[in-house]
Chain A
Amino acid sequence: MITFTNVSKKYDEITVVDELNLSIEDGEFVILIGPSGCGKTTTLKMINKLIEMDKGEIHIDDKNISDINGDELRREIGYVIQQIGLFPNLTIKENILVVPRLLKWKEEKCDKRVHELLELVGMPYEENAMKYPNELSGGQQQRIGVLRALAGEPPIILMDEPFGALDPVTRESLQDELKVLQKKLHKTIIFVTHDMEEALKMADKIVFMSDGKILQVASPEEMLANPADSLITDFMGRHAVTTEEQYHDLTCKEVMFKELIFVSETEKPLEVASKIKKSDHDMAVIVDENAAPKGVVTLDLIKQFQQADKKIVEIADTEVEKVSENKLAKDAFNQMIKDNKNYLLVMDDKNKVTGLITRDVITNSLARLVWGDMDWAL
């Protein structure tokens, strides 16, 4: 856990961070966002003491960071910058191993780690380890930048607009990869961006800053639904045609995911997994002969059990909540958030499954509300 207590920073009498209080839980993906000069980058860099604060305290777990030597602190915290900053004189392998070598890891452990990490981002060791940064594309370079931050197995990773310099397509695929990595590795990530789209997509918690102060701390859904300040509304979409009614009127049918994958109860987990993998989603709905729903199974769930000989229904989540197509979307959203569910099944009046509402659906429909009708399909 990271806690900021009354943290301030001034540059020549200009206060860039002003009496900041914030706490970040372990494993949380926190995004600091706000207009330029709002103090988000300064806030980030005070965590690893690249910038020393003037006032206040930052604790990581129970340790006050002012009691820790900056260099040693930084070896325990991953750091990724926008300009990537791979060392051109070192190979990819050496770049990744900068921190492990500073931590004096044994050579075999280093070697194993590089293999493992390159595997993680789908860049084969044999092909890439001995290359130099200038021999990789921008997207590949930043993948290595992220691996370099992960290499020393730090529990916390700081990212300063890491994807800001990449083209939109590459940026999107790196965002997706990072999200997957984060879920897999349970790192605490603190990420600075000025791109609200990125924040909504990635964050568990968004911290909106302006003039060195926090305006709002909220989940993406909540921030879209209830922006605390007109500046935040502006930031989320300058062309927003926000009409409360439009939002209130939306039904589940209008917002749900329609292209579902249906599987029968008796199918084997592996078959289901391959069906899911071929689609754009990460889950499938299990139905009986009458198309009545029996449960939902996610790819994670299948991986977790890994019992190939079982019937799929035996490992599925059968306690899925259901809502009617005609129910108001906001009520469904409230229900999901209240019950802490990740998905709801949407049913028509003949008790057939017609769609699925996930957390992505909430984000998308709220985003659509703010940005107007853009192509928001994920």
Chain B
Amino acid sequence: MGIIAFLDQYGVRLMKAILVHLQYVFISVAIGFVIAFVLAIVLSRYPKLSSIVIPVLGIFQTIPGLVFIGVLFIYLGMKPITVIIALGVYAVFPILKNTYTGIINVDPELIEAARGCGMNSLQILYKIEIPNAMSSIFSGLRMSTIYTVSWAVLAAMIGLGGLGEFVYRGIETNNNTLIIGGAVPAAILAMTLGYLIDLIEDKITPRGLKGGR
């Protein structure tokens, strides 16, 4: 089946699926980002706490996304919130880990210089630590977003739409057109979002932090 014919037949449903998919990704990444960002800053203030929390989070991360959606599905039922919570929780991990390491790895000399200038810890955080951890934070955000696009495909498993619907239906009915029709847009979506994030990062990174330092 050609692209034109495919779009003719499934165009409207595909658009809708993409929108649903994007919705899942945006909402869960946004929620995940806020939680992860705050948590990472808190953890970076308490090294003792983080030496316990970070490994524990690492263990949680080994739980497959499928299980998470499954468990929530059993408890919460077939609602969009099930997908959003599951994806949001997953989006937390990479952002948390990257933000945390980014802040922890800011050159201690810079912190000392900042203290020597008379900045208080809040000023050091938002003027020095966060800007210098930016590239690490962005790579966490990028990872989370791409993973979320990937895991949002699972939403279809519990019948909640998105591009996974095409893939699942295709696999079940042995319809290659449907598989491709879901897989290719999902791949393009992930790559586009990744590219957009790179673009934003490039826009907001000051020249002094680019290239070999």
Cβ contacts B183-213/A at 8 Å (1 or 0 each):
0000000000000000000000011110101
Q: Are A79 and B117 in contact, with the CB atoms below 8 A?
A: yes
The CA of A79 and the CA of B110, in the complex, are separated in Å by 12
User: Contacting A89 at CB < 8 Å: which of B116, B120, B123, B132?
Assistant: B132
A248 to B118, CA, bound (A): 51
A102's partner among B110, B119, B128, B206 (CB-CB below 8 A) is B119
The interface residues of chain B, by DSSP majority, are classed as: helix
- A74 near B116: Cβ-Cβ < 8 Å: yes
Closest B residue to A148 using CB positions: B117
CA distance in complex: A83, B117 (Å): 15
Which residues of chain A come closer than 8 Å to B115, judged between CB atoms? Answer: 50, 71, 74
Known: A89-B131, A102-B123, A133-B208. A50 touches B110 (CB 8 A): no
- Which of B107, B119, B208 is within 8 Å of A132, CB to CB? B208
B119 touches A134 (CB 8 A): no
Q: Does A88 reach chain B (CB closer than 8 Å)?
A: yes
Kindly identify which residue among A79, A102, A135 contacts B113, using a CB–CB cutoff of 8 Å: A79
By the criterion CB–CB under 8 Å, are A71 and B118 in contact? yes
Q: Which residues of A contact B209 (CB under 8 A)?
A: 88-89, 132
Residues of chain B lying within 8 A (CB to CB) of residue A79: 113, 116-117
**Given contact pairs A50-B112, A81-B109, A85-B110, A91 touches B208 in the complex (Cβ within 8 A):** yes
By the criterion CB–CB under 8 Å, are B112 and A88 in contact? no
CA distance A89 to B131 in the complex (A): 6
How far, in whole Å, are A90 and B130 apart by their CA atoms in the complex? 12
- Please judge, given known A-B contacts A99-B117, A102-B117, A148-B117, whether A90 and B112 are in contact too, CB under 8 Å: no
Residue A88 contacts which of B116, B119, B123, B213 (CB distance < 8 angstroms)? B213
Closest B residue by C-beta to A80: B116
CB of B208 within 8 A of CB of A134, answer yes
Residue ID in chain B nearest A98 by CB atoms: B117
Tally of chain A residues near chain B (CB < 8 A)? 28
* Residue A327 at the chain B interface, CB threshold 8 Å: no
Shortest Cβ distance from residue A323 to the other chain B in the assembled complex, whole angstroms: 47
Which B residues from 119 to 151 make CB contacts under 8 A with A?
119-120, 123, 127-128, 131-132, 134
A48 and B123: CB pair below 8 A? Answer: no
Whether A75 sits at the interface, judged by CB under 8 Å, is: yes
Q: In the complex, are the beta carbons of A88 and B117 less than 8 A apart?
A: no
**B158 proximal to A (CB < 8 A):** no
Q: Are A87 and B118 in contact (CB under 8 A)?
A: no
Residues of B within 8 A of A84 (CB): 109, 113
Chain A residues closer than 8 Å to B207, beta-carbon distance: 132, 135
Contact of B112 with A81 in the complex, beta carbons under 8 Å: yes
**B104 in contact (CB, < 8 A):** no
Question: Do A48 and B114 form a contact, CB below 8 Å, given A88-B132, A134-B213?
Answer: no
B135-174: CB near A (< 8 Å → 1, else 0) gives: 0000000000000000000000000000000000000000
Residues of B within 8 A of A74 (CB): 115-118
B119 contact from A73, A83, A98, A158, Cβ within 8 A: A98
Residues 8-57 (chain A) with a chain B CB within 8 angstroms: 48, 50
Q: What is A's interface to B at a CB cutoff of 8 Å?
A: 48, 50, 71-76, 79, 81, 83-91, 98-99, 102, 132-135, 148, 158
Supply 15 A–B pairs (Cβ within 8 Å), ascending by A: A50-B112, A73-B118, A74-B118, A79-B116, A81-B109, A83-B107, A85-B113, A85-B116, A86-B113, A89-B131, A89-B132, A90-B206, A102-B117, A102-B118, A132-B209
- Residues on B close to A: CB < 8 A? 107, 109-110, 112-120, 123, 127-128, 131-132, 134, 206-209, 211, 213
Which 3 A/B pairs are nearest by Cβ-Cβ distance?
A132-B208, A85-B113, A79-B116
